[in-house]
Amino acid sequence: MCRSNNIMEISFPKHEYESVQNHLSEFGYCYTTRVYKEVGKYKVGELYKAPWGDVLKIDEVMEYWKVSDRSFYDEMTDSEKEEIREYSEDMGLPYEFIKFSKNIL
């Protein structure tokens, strides 16, 4: 079993901390999108330490090449779609849509 000090960290923009924590509390899981250098970094079943101290487990990693193919596409803002396109689709690179949950040790 991994010890918390050996667990790699998962990054999130600071302005998302509260909304991610709220979503985890309400639903037990959350999603994040990873582009460019972070594609392939997070593995299903692995544990990662969140910046706010929770340990998160990667439940699912889905790879997409077009933003419009992603689950919950209609719930994304135009700026979110544009940012993902800029760092993936427009560069001919895939991006990942990752489902994660709070790990209860």
What is the reported pLDDT for 50? 95
Structural domains of the chain, ranges and CATH numbers in brackets: 4-102 (2.30.130.30)
Tens of pLDDT, residues 42-75: 999 999 999 999 999 999 999 999 999 988 899 8
Question: Could you tell me the pLDDT band of residue 5, with boundaries at 50, 70 and 90?
Answer: low
pTM to 2 decimal places: 0.86
- CA distance linking residue 48 with residue 54, whole number of Å: 8
- CA distance linking residue 29 with residue 27, whole number of Å: 6
Mean pLDDT over each residue of the chain, to the nearest integer: 91
DSSP 43-63: -TT-EEE-TTS-EEEEEEEEE
